[in-house]
Amino acid sequence: MNRYVLRFTKKGNMRFISHLDLARLFKRAVRKGGINVGFSNGYNPHELVNIVQPLSLGYESESEYYEIDTIDPYDPQKLSATLNEAMPEGLKFFDSVQTERTSDNLSNKTSCALYEAVFGLKSDACMPDLTQFLDQERIFITKKDKKTKKPVEKDIKAFINELSADVREDGAVALSMMLRCASNETLNPGKLLQSMFKYYNLDVNIEDCRVTRIDLFSEDAQGRLVPLHETLRVL
């Protein structure tokens, strides 16, 4: 069995395709390309593919990750090219490597994600210093409880690794957010934006914010955050 990790971008109208539909699209592309994908053992075998850390609907991305195990060996770059032939506009594989095959997948190694949110402010408003927001003892968001489906408040201060803002020449604000993104705990950047806008009483429609995931990160032995593709053991 051979394992490959492919990186891809998700832009434009493709930001509105759900994770499940994206998985189906990739599976069709694999079949169309004649790629001999591996299957798990057991009574209900499934294809050994994995889209690392699903991206929330409505967000774009500069670097998503797709893991695929194949029975036959392939040239990594040709593998990307084969899948790209079946990709619609807005989805493109741009890097592919063969890696060491383990029982674990990259979703379990992911620790954080870097996002950029771009939005405009009214002409009489300015972007406040974020220090006061970050210095709060607790930072709350409202989300639905998985069991009761009722709205509950959750403290997400520990999920924020870094937060900074830059005002561009055109007046738009580019907010950089390094947020927790792991298999058991993930912070949606839209929820953080809503909390921040409310705190500063900023008149910004969350739907007018253009959010892009820049990359996924893993934590090394020293606790430093490293881009996921730099942690791969390439064969």
Q: What is the mean pLDDT of residues 150-162?
A: 93
Is pTM beyond 0.85? Reply is yes
117-142 as b/e: b if 16+ CB within 10 A:
bbbeeeeeeebeeeeebeeeeebbbe
The answer to whether the CB of 113 falls within 8 A of the CB of 179 is yes
Bridge partners (DSSP) listed for residue 227: 217
Q: Which of 117, 137, 143 is nearest to 202 (CA)?
A: 117
CATH architecture of the domain 2-103 equals 2-Layer Sandwich (3.30)
36 SS3 class = coil
- Mean predicted lDDT score pLDDT of the chain: 93
Q: Is the pLDDT of residue 101 over 80?
A: yes
Report the distance separating Cα 1 and Cα 101, nearest Å: 8
Range of weakest confidence among 135-139, 146-150, 175-179, 180-184: 146-150
Domain extents for the chain?
2-103, 109-228
The confidence score (pLDDT) of residue 85 equals: 96
Mean pLDDT of 222-231: 94
- The reported pLDDT for the residue numbered 178 is 98
Mean pLDDT score, 199-211: 92
pLDDT computed for residue 218 by the predictor: 96
Whether residue 107 contacts residue 185, with contact meaning beta carbons closer than 8 Å, is answered with no
pLDDT in tens, 38-97: 998 888 888 999 999 999 999 999 999 999 999 999 999 999 999 999 999 999 999 999
